[in-house]
Structure 1
Amino acid sequence: MGLHRTAYRFFLGIFFIALANPSIAQQKLNGMELPDVLTMNNGIKVTTARQWRNQRRPELLTFFKKEMYGQSPGKPVNMTFKVFDTDTKALGGKATRKQITVYFNGKADGPQMDILMYLPNQVKHKVPAIVGLNFDGNQSVNNDPAIKMSNSWMDKTKGVVNNRATEATRGVDAGQWPLEMILAKGYAVATVYRGDIDPDYDDGFKNGVQGLYPQLQNRGDNFATVAAWAWGLSRILDYLETDKAVDAKRVGVFGFSRLGKAAVWAGATDERFPLVISNESGAGGAKLFHYTGGERIRRLCTKFPHWFCGNFKKYMDQDSILPFDQHMVIALIAPRPVYIASAEGDTNSNPEAEFWGAKGADPVYRLLGTDGLPASSWPPVSTPVIGRIAYHVRPGGHNVTDYDWAQYLKFADRYLK
């Protein structure tokens, strides 16, 4: 009886998708058939940049906001910034450190986040910047004792006691944030702790920025966690637009793992970011759901039910028959450059599926006059493929390494300088 029920639910899912999408045009890729990124919902093929810009791109944005990431608010009307720390001789004199509190509703007792920023002292003009969220608090990015200790809720790891950071967390993630390498290349770095925006546990969206937007909750397309993190990345850029030391038109957005999902979505929704870097973002980031292996929708929606909006749950167990996939999200970044990177041993993220996610966006980049991703097959380990879409897979597991950053900085030099 249980087998019959399982089969019934499976075929009911197929019927639901077919009913909602009576004629899904297919895009062939490495033996797979994906929903075609360049065919509109009404079946019309997109053949011009104008069609993409004015019709297909808005159509896809509307779909993903409704069915996966959820709706997000715009820039808060009353948001304010307070620079509470400036040190022109940080990191042994190599950098200027700034720390800034962002008050989302302009109130000192309201939701807020702290930006940690380092500027390269050797550059005497406005500098490009790389922004990204961190996992364990700003103090985890470097052992600089002057970095404000985060007081937001944290997972019970790496020196965290009673869900709060202690001095033992200073510099624990410094290996993922090689500040001196980035600064030496002439880039500023700006980062925020993810938990300042959303604490990343299923709390009914009571302790993050969602509390400012009750109208976006209790609905199928609710303002969920990944979208909130992406929204927070845009608020970092809002501050940088006010900082005279930064060239705010040359700001790349970076993210690793679940924060890579947020970086991809931030790049898709905020066109002010001229460059996007996704490091092992996996399912809900760069990985194709249609491709076997790695995290699937059921795991995302059960282990991390707060990450995506409620409507996304109806696609559980339908990964291989979806009327959409992540190549469409990556295509929303086009024609801006995007770097997608994987690790050979990172089976959860499924490195080959991340490559094909990038390759699936290639037709849009080429339609818009760029070289897209200049590879026809998954490249060997440690062999970056660089076009307007770039990709590499390195040895090792789920992490961010100096090798990764070296490739990202070369890519940024090519497109941000």
Structure 2
Amino acid sequence: MVFIFRLFTFLALAGATLAQQDTAEDRCSKLPDKLILSKLTDPFTFYNKRPVRTKADWACRRAELAELIQRYQVGYLPSKSPTSVTGELLENGAFNVTVTEGEKNITFTAKITLPAEGDGPFPAIIGLSFPSITVPSDVAIISFPNDAIANQLGTSSRGSGLFYDLYGKDHSAGALIAWTWGVGRLIDALEKVPATKINAKRLGVTGCSRNGKGAMVVGAFEPRIRLTIPQESGAGGSACWRISDELKRRGENIQTASQIVTENVWHGAAFNSYTGQVGVLPFDQHLLTALIAPRAVLVEDNGGIDWLGPESVYGCQRAARSVWRALGIADRIGLSQPPSHNHCQLPEVSKPYVNAFIDRFLKDKEDVNTTVFYTGGDFKYEEKDWVDWDVPRL
């Protein structure tokens, strides 16, 4: 009888305890269905957790990010200038650039097309391979042979090209940063040869698709570029790795870090170790874009090609824009993302934006309005899922 009483008492107490737990849990907040485990990296906090409070701080944070992105993703630019760089203008606008490093030298040829009228010096757009944007008739075009500098013929082409002839096939640089080095040497030569009639202080860079990835990296790491116009650059360019991974998880047909390293050698070999865990990287592509600040960038995109990740581009560049906002110059970064159109074909709706950025930043027309952040996409992007920082006033 005593046993039965004790058993009844135990069960009664246990039931009361469980009821109390149920009541307590009812008062607890519920986890959301969608969890973002790794938000986009805060531009305004140093790696050591110190906050960015001034423009001088941003310059230091920028230098820190440039080091991190080279170390873990694109590979390193050579640490010192080459022994010599010379330029020679030939017939029909051919411009030979010869770079000497110690006892080695390489030569590559860019093609300069000057405006039909005027004496120059002219502002110029450097096109990786060639520009597929519409360039105004009073702006020179320089076609840059990036494939000669570093091949992009698949994963077997790592370490192949003129850059690696100088620095060795095992150099850490992927193709994108090798192209950046090449554009830097082109600018060195332009500065020394006034006969080109190019104003080397008024240069822009552009490229589309894979060359758009290159344009973004060139703009980020070559400070003499005043205007960067990456076109439909997707993964490795204007899209963020973290956002693209999440969209892939939801079923979108989108290029991710895991895929891109199986396609080509645009990034340094060190990046291969992180493509399946991009959330551990101390940066994302919004901070690659942010390296351009306070200079100007217009991201031209295509809202109708899923592989390019238009929603990822939109969210990524919104995050990047916070740096220009903090600097008080938000009209120096633009996004034009019309609905579907042919790949690398600049649609009519985008042409006024391109012209405005060129007018202001290459032709010094300061009164031109360059405020644009436009998408034709119907996205479910929510900034609170990805951004947990406040924008300071630097």
* Compared CA separation, residues 102 and 405, structure 1 to 2 (3 A): farther
Query: Which residue in the other structure is 2:111 paired with?
Result: 116
* Partner residue of 2:159 out of 183, 205, 208: 205
Matched, 1:290 2:242: yes
* Compared CA separation, residues 352 and 204, structure 1 to 2 (3 A): closer
Deviation at 1:368, TM superposition (A): 1.8
Q: Distance in 1 between matches of 2:119 and 2:160?
A: 44
Spell out the pairing of 1:19-98 with structure 2 (5 A cutoff).
Answer: 33-53=39-59, 55-73=60-78, 74-86=80-92, 98=93
Q: Indicate conservation of the 8 Å contact 1:340/1:355, yes or no.
A: no
What RMSD over aligned residues (CA atoms) do the two structures have, in Å?
A: 2.6
Query: Which residue in the other structure is 1:365 paired with?
Result: 324
Structure 2 gaps of 5+ residues are 1-35, 249-253, 364-394
Query: Which residue in the other structure is 1:400 paired with?
Result: 345
Deviation at 1:400, TM superposition (A): 3.1
Letter in 1 for 2:123: P
Query: In terms of mean alpha carbon deviation, does 33-42 or 310-319 score higher?
Result: 310-319
TM-score by length of 1: 0.69
Q: Indicate conservation of the 8 Å contact 1:296/1:319, yes or no.
A: no
Q: Distance in 2 between matches of 1:32 and 1:414?
A: 37
Q: Indicate conservation of the 8 Å contact 1:278/1:339, yes or no.
A: yes
Deviation at 1:72, TM superposition (A): 1.4
- Equivalent pairs counted in the alignment come to 313
Deviations 1:353-399 (A, max 9, x none): 112222111222122221x2xxxxxxxxxxxxxx2111111231421
Matched, 1:269 2:229: no
Q: Distance in 2 between matches of 1:241 and 1:400?
A: 32
Q: Distance in 2 between matches of 1:106 and 1:47?
A: 41
Q: Distance in 1 between matches of 2:315 and 2:178?
A: 27
Q: Indicate conservation of the 8 Å contact 1:113/1:192, yes or no.
A: no
Deviation at 1:32, TM superposition (A): 8.1
Query: Which residue in the other structure is 2:183 paired with?
Result: 233
Q: Indicate conservation of the 8 Å contact 2:87/2:190, yes or no.
A: no
**Higher Cα radius of gyration:** 2
Q: Distance in 2 between matches of 1:32 and 1:397?
A: 34
Q: Distance in 2 between matches of 1:248 and 1:79?
A: 15
* Compared CA separation, residues 355 and 40, structure 1 to 2 (3 A): same
Deviations 1:203-238 (A, max 9, x none): 341443112112xx547xx02211111222222222
Deviation at 1:321, TM superposition (A): 5.4
Deviation at 1:101, TM superposition (A): 1.5
Query: Which residue in the other structure is 2:358 paired with?
Result: 412
* Compared CA separation, residues 235 and 406, structure 1 to 2 (3 A): farther
Q: Indicate conservation of the 8 Å contact 2:147/2:161, yes or no.
A: no
Q: Distance in 2 between matches of 1:31 and 1:63?
A: 21
Q: Distance in 2 between matches of 1:322 and 1:224?
A: 18
Structure 1 gaps of 5+ residues are 1-29, 87-97, 135-140, 142-173, 373-386
Q: Indicate conservation of the 8 Å contact 2:148/2:161, yes or no.
A: no
Percent of aligned pairs sharing the same letter? 29
Q: Distance in 1 between matches of 2:71 and 2:101?
A: 29
Deviation at 1:113, TM superposition (A): 1.6
Deviation at 1:123, TM superposition (A): 2.4
Q: Indicate conservation of the 8 Å contact 1:129/1:187, yes or no.
A: yes
Query: Which residue in the other structure is 1:151 paired with?
Result: none
Partner secondary structure for residue 141 of structure 2: strand
Which structure has the higher relative contact order (CA within 8 Å, separation 6+)?
A: 2
Partner secondary structure for residue 306 of structure 2: coil
Letter in 2 for 1:227: I
TM-score by length of 2: 0.73
